[in-house]
Structure 1
């Protein structure tokens, strides 16, 4: 035995104790048409389903990806630059190109638990990710569990699942830390961080339905990270202004609209009104709600007068529905 079989066998022996199983795996791969290490890129889990058990398939894919990563470490510098540029694409590019790179590329972030020792550990805050050297920052990224609320951390340590709002809070905290390290993380970076979270607290974060692990076990967490980052970028993006002809009069210019068609997303306080006055009116509304005060006219007047504060709390981003309900309970009451 020589070539790709010999090298792959070395990895297989680390996860399989029976030589017969190793020979069976090599035989299946040869029957699939694998003739070289490069051919291993195209091996998918479905190709092995008829001959191996699910856990054995995952072990084989892990070994394949370790073999591919080991082989790629000996590539020339110019070739490594090409791979780094491709792998460091953002979400919009990574999903389009994933189908062209072959099935095995989807498993790289989840199949291997062995992390490269040469991963860069130095990151400048908010500086983004360079295509070389720093594109493996996700391997050395330390999840800031200490910044998560203590009640949520206690649930995780007890092996319990956090509520939806607690889970969103965890995602918000981690996204803030991720963007501080890399302002344009790729999907492979996010996937690895989600995998680490599930490994540390499997019963709290793993995707499970009726006792069965769904997919990789961290697909929903990955999608939640991506959605949060996309929303953050959307809020940060400034609306493009339409260029008017030089001879256009001021009346020709249309009023600029904010996102989602809203023309007044951040209303100013009325003349004579202060933030302190808004706070006092909010506290009065809270007292009325607690005492079940039914003075509808007064409630309506105070709600109208405190609209700027309500709008600012809703559009600020960090607060979820439960927090807004607690601060402005009459928003959720029918007239």
Structure 2
């Protein structure tokens, strides 16, 4: 059973080193916990010598740089916005526990980075399937996307594709067996393309009225009326055009007669 702090540390590591082998990742998480890390904020105090034996020097420096920047970001935020992770508890009934914390107003622009997947708001069947590594049925997957998008729109009504991508990657990284694009046991590409498409389609569906209104207002605000002509996509758009100024029916008849004489 994975505790909140363990899962959080795992996500922090994989966000910086996504290609890290699973065995190394597991050992690295245990190493950090054994060093005394109890909250997400404690990661800024980890030193290179603490994890140097498990990962290469460049990987170690990347990881510590990210954690150090994260600690600076937390220290600069208002005291009310800092939230610590709860300690592991034996009363936890599932690895899909409640969100760790809500993003602060100072981090609103970067809300996908601190967004917590709302597993506690998912139906029990979805959380049970994800915990056991089973694939979701199409209906359960659609319901999961609906709950996820509703929570995302609390931060931004119309999230961009790049923001949806961060959320989709996080879901697939946490439960690849349930959500990744796979052929047999092999993940296709990043594994998140179909989930990203579902999330973005759901966002566009919920914002269809607002999007249309915004597009119309932009067109009308230019003040210029553009008249669209027939598109030359099939057949001929003008089967009997007007004569040019220098051409008349008489000149056309003369050309026909001259061409006829030449052909004879």
TM-score normalized by the length of structure 1: 0.34
Which structure has the greater CA radius of gyration?
A: 2
Task: State the TM-score, normalizing by the size of structure 2.
Answer: 0.43
